Amino acid sequence: MSCQTVFAFLLINLIITPVKYYHSSACGRAEYETNGQCCPMCSPGTRVYKDCTDYTSTSCVPCTEATFTDKPNGLITCFPCTVCDKGFGLKTVKECTASSDTVCGVLEGNYCVDPYEGGCRKAEKHTTCKPGQFIRLPGTGSADTECENCPENSYSNGSSTSCTPHTDCESRKLTTIRQGDSVSDSECGSSSHMKESSRHNQEKLTPFSHNHEPQGRNNRTEYTDTVCESCPENSFSKGSSTSCTPHTDCKSKGLLTTKPGDTVSD
């Protein structure tokens, strides 16, 4: 056989012999194993449409809407895009693409309890400090609010970053009517105020009395109680007016008196 014949035979075999993907239990970093052979992976943003064969490479197709792959892969389906659920305290920071998932952040007033790769899977509302506490550290997107009890002789409604000292009544030359606690301030007043306040709690305006003070004036002030007086004979009052009303004279109207009036009714 001549040299030319041998060269032609080798050239023909080289052209028609297909590229084979050899069977292996240890595929390369850019390959995936299927049916005992290694195939080239699909690039991010695509998935496997058809595995490779002894004669063809892997066939890949793009991920459809709301799905993605963010790494070289041998997947037959793309991953569904994450939905940032407001019910979990989340908002969308970056929209999903074919090659990257949605990135979720936290809504205002929440902090992340399940972070991942620069995003958040779940958040919770910041703790609300209770009355008698102050905000030691305000909440952030990654940390909860820290509350602390007010120190002695101060108070707070829980919404501020510090407690307010109780008013010092004595320094104002006033009497402490009610001592302050962790949720409210001290109440100050004069000595006469204390006496009148005590009488307020003991006396009630009865139905058969009337306000003694003239109408139009503020009957009860910070330092004086309402002054009441019993209705005179043949008159009545429900206790809410500044004078008593005379009983109706049935005889003068030519009528019969079926029930005599008293101090509370006509």
For the segment 180-239, what is each residue's pLDDT rounded down to a tens digit?
999 999 999 976 555 555 555 555 444 544 554 444 444 555 444 567 888 898 988 888
Q: What is the pLDDT of residues 64-104, one digit of tens each?
A: 999 999 999 999 999 999 999 999 999 999 999 999 999 99
> What CA–CA distance (Å, rounded) separates 198 from 178?
12
- Position 33 scores a pLDDT of 95
Predicted confidence band of residue 252 (pLDDT cuts 50, 70, 90): confident
Q: Across residues 108-122, what is the average pLDDT?
A: 93
> What CA–CA distance (Å, rounded) separates 186 from 167?
6
What domains appear along the chain, each with residue ranges and CATH number? 17-80 (2.10.50.10), 86-165 (2.10.50.10), 191-266 (2.10.50.10)
Nearest CA-CA partner of 153 in 141, 172, 168, 143? 168
The enclosing H or E element of 197 equals helix 191-202
Q: What is the pLDDT of residues 25-60, one digit of tens each?
A: 589 999 999 988 999 999 999 999 999 999 999 999
By three-state DSSP, how is residue 5 classified?
A: helix
Residues 6+ apart with CB under 8 A from 127: 139, 144, 145, 146, 147
Tokens of 143: 């940390």
Nearest CA-CA partner of 247 in 238, 237, 51, 255? 237
Tokens of 154: 């101060």
The enclosing H or E element of 194 equals helix 191-202
